[in-house]
Amino acid sequence: MTDSKTTKDIQLLVAGYGAAGRAYASGFREAGAGVTAVDPFAVEEVKKEAQTLGISLLKELPGNLGRFDLVIILSPAAASLDIIRQLADRSGVCPILDLTSSAPSVMQQASAILGDRLIDGTVLGAVGLGGLATPMVFAGRQAKGVATMLRRLGCYIACIDGEPGSASALKLLRSLFMKGLEALVVETQLAAAALGQTDGLRIALADLAEVDMPEFLAEMLRTHPKHAGRRTHEIEAAISLMRDAGLTPFMLLAARQLFARTATAGPGPDESPEAALRWLESQFNPHREVANATA
């Protein structure tokens, strides 16, 4: 796409018209882009809604991609590779942005099929809430050019160095944190309810509203190597509390295992988050994990 194009000249093909596909397609259309969407399973009500929004909704991918500036895949991850193979067979050489939650290995396979046309993308948040302003991360040879185009439509995009698969790895690292946090929230709320402390929990956690979260997380990392042993005793007490309430402490049991592992290797430094991470990496790295698993 040339710099002279305005938003109304941008032509996008969105492959997948589920919740995320509809959110992006409607946002792009509202921003002035021409939007064609593809979903073989769209029901009549969805088709009428798309028509009202000015979105052309097709049952299958068009045979020629020549008129599009970009194809965006927003299908379920399981369908991503099949869609990529179909796109590779179409005429036209526009870039293809995969925004599914596919694994890095899938993105590497996709790159082998599409070459430099592929941009590996990940969405860092809920597009249903943030719309086009939901942050995204792109990786791939054409990532910067595509990011420039989509920023004109209101997108917030960071580009990282690395081949396709790099952005997908970030998505899964975010999932490691967010899904673990979700599980912890569920376990804590169930325990509070069982103990009649739902309102009390709000008081106990109220200080988190004032916390600088990045600094808070860095402080956790900094102090963990030296204080893991002492904190294991507090985890034991919390485990007993949950069991007395008749609940299984899934997250706490995992936390006890991790803290005990650190304590066995310690005591480590208490200097900076960077020093803590270096020490932890020296103790718990992939080579050592494999060796311990096969010992």
CATH of residue 211's domain is 1.10.1040
Q: Is 49 part of a structural domain of the chain? A: yes
Last residue of a domain, one of 163, 185, 203: 163
Residue where one domain finishes, among candidates 163, 194, 222? 163
pLDDT in tens, 87-127: 999 999 999 999 998 999 999 999 999 999 999 999 998 88
Q: What angle do CA 55, 58, 63 make, to 5 degrees?
A: 120
**Domains: count for the chain:** 2
Q: How far apart, in whole angstroms, are the C-alpha atoms of residue 8 and residue 193?
A: 53
pLDDT above 70 covers a percentage of the chain that reads 96
pLDDT digits (tens, 9 = 90+) for 160-195: 998 899 999 998 999 999 999 999 999 999 999 999
Range of the domain at 156: 7-163
Last-in-domain residue among 138, 163, 188: 163
